[in-house]
Structure 1
Amino acid sequence: MISPANILRRAGLGMAAAGASLALTACISLGAEPPESLITLSATASAPAGAGASAGREDSAAAIAVLTPEVPAKLDVLRVPVNVSDTQVAYLQEAVWIEKPARLFRRMIGEILRLRGGALVLDSDDTPTLAGVSLRGTLSEMSYDAPTSSVVVRFDAVRTDSSGAVLSRRFEARESGVAPEAEFVGPALNRAANTVAGEVADWVLE
């Protein structure tokens, strides 16, 4: 027979365990809090609806393939890197990309090329046509620079034409006086990316 004292002791242990469980639940998050908004890149101008281009086997040189840029590890994430110093990198609080920046930048270049050149532009992984011109490279910066309160976009582009000739060029844009907050950094990065993408498109179409 269980005594009243033992019943009370067991009840007390159960209540203590329940309290500890509730306290643990309050301290542990099973999933990250979703950001209030996501940032993306968008071209300031785009080809109008209905615009198109085509290229067959005979005129495949008219097609331009835009490949996804290589990126360093700090950009191969959905966060916006902050260059704290030459040897330190952090990430900007509450600044989250909707997609990895390399793919966003690739599509931005493709959109500007369509607008300016009227060529068939292949800027997705599905490339049924062998392009005469290809654009690749390394997106080394799409970041916030803390010491100068600026954003920087840097792209080392490599262009290969139908004859096999290879050219490379570095493109960079900066915008200073940017507060280290997502609501300011996101638009500033978009403006800088548009500047770089526009210069790259002009270079490819030379």
Structure 2
Amino acid sequence: MIVRSVAKTLLVAAVPVLLAGCVRFGAEPPPSLLTIAAQSQPQPGAAQNSANARSIVVQVPAVPTAIATTRVPVQETDTTIAYVKDAQWAEPPARLFARLLADTVTARANMVVLSPAQSFSDPSANLAGELRWFGLDATQRQALVVYDAALTPAGATNVEKRRFEARVPVAAIDAPSAGAALSQAANQVAQQVADWVAGQR
């Protein structure tokens, strides 16, 4: 009776150990994560002062649900979306794109990019908008970035909106191709936005 009770206890104790090798919480992470790199960046050590340069706040853009994730979406047809296998961003695309915009506007528009908190004491322009698409188009075999920008000039209440778009061919619908092509397309859009902002008064 005692032997049977001990054996039963050992069997119950062993079950969680066996299950631990089988049960996984969450998806297996990919071998590497994707990010985007700014082609136009501020020079290291270069001082910026909003007293003698225009300033701007670059907001993190709004995004639709399909790209409010670290996965890379693929438009398969007009009505269906999938995700690229083993492709995952290091952080959500909205934040990656906002940082890219900030660096590009600083470098190309010669503007001081402030945080929302810093802008309270320094009247600044405000760049907001929606990142409408940040993924692949399988029908055209292209990486596609679409950004609807909304610019409010410093000290003004009017808003000017403009859509920016860039397409870059992809050799394959896979993680390496997606990362490189989307980084290139995002830079093209950011440069267009920076040149547009620089021309506003």
For Structure 1 versus Structure 2, the TM-score category normalised by the shorter chain is 0.7 to 0.9
Taking every aligned residue pair, what percent have the same amino acid on both sides? 37
Other-structure match for 2:180: 187
TM-score, with normalisation over the residues of structure 1? 0.83
Other-structure match for 1:90: 82
Other-structure match for 1:104: 96
Cα deviations by residue, 1:72-96 (Å, 9 ceiling, x for unpaired): 0111111111112222222111111
Cα deviation for residue 53 of structure 1 reads 1.8
Cα deviations by residue, 1:92-121 (Å, 9 ceiling, x for unpaired): 111111111111111111111111222211
Q: For the residues of structure 1 that align with 2:14 and 2:102, how far apart are their CA atoms?
A: 57
Q: Equivalent of 2:56, from 64, 69, 79?
A: 64
Other-structure match for 1:53: 48
Q: Equivalent of 1:28, from 23, 27, 43?
A: 23
**1:116 aligned partner, one-letter code:** R
Structure 1 SS opposite 2:186: helix
Q: Equivalent of 1:139, from 131, 134, 139?
A: 131
Q: Which runs of 5+ in 2 are unaligned?
A: none
Alpha-carbon distance change, 138 to 150 in structure 1, aligned in 2, over 3 angstroms: same
For residues 108-119 of structure 1, the aligned pairs below 5 Å read 108-119=100-111
Alpha-carbon distance change, 177 to 120 in structure 1, aligned in 2, over 3 angstroms: closer
Q: Which runs of 5+ in 1 are unaligned?
A: none
Cα deviation for residue 167 of structure 1 reads 1.1
Cα pair 1:53 1:118 within 8 Å, conserved: no
Other-structure match for 2:71: 79
Cα deviation for residue 131 of structure 1 reads 3.5
Cα pair 1:80 1:92 within 8 Å, conserved: yes
More deviation, 22-31/102-111: 22-31
Q: Equivalent of 2:34, from 31, 39, 49?
A: 39
Structure 1 SS opposite 2:196: helix
Cα pair 1:160 1:167 within 8 Å, conserved: yes
For residues 4-15 of structure 1, the aligned pairs below 5 Å read none
Which structure's CA Rg is the greater one?
1
The alignment covers a number of residue pairs equal to: 197
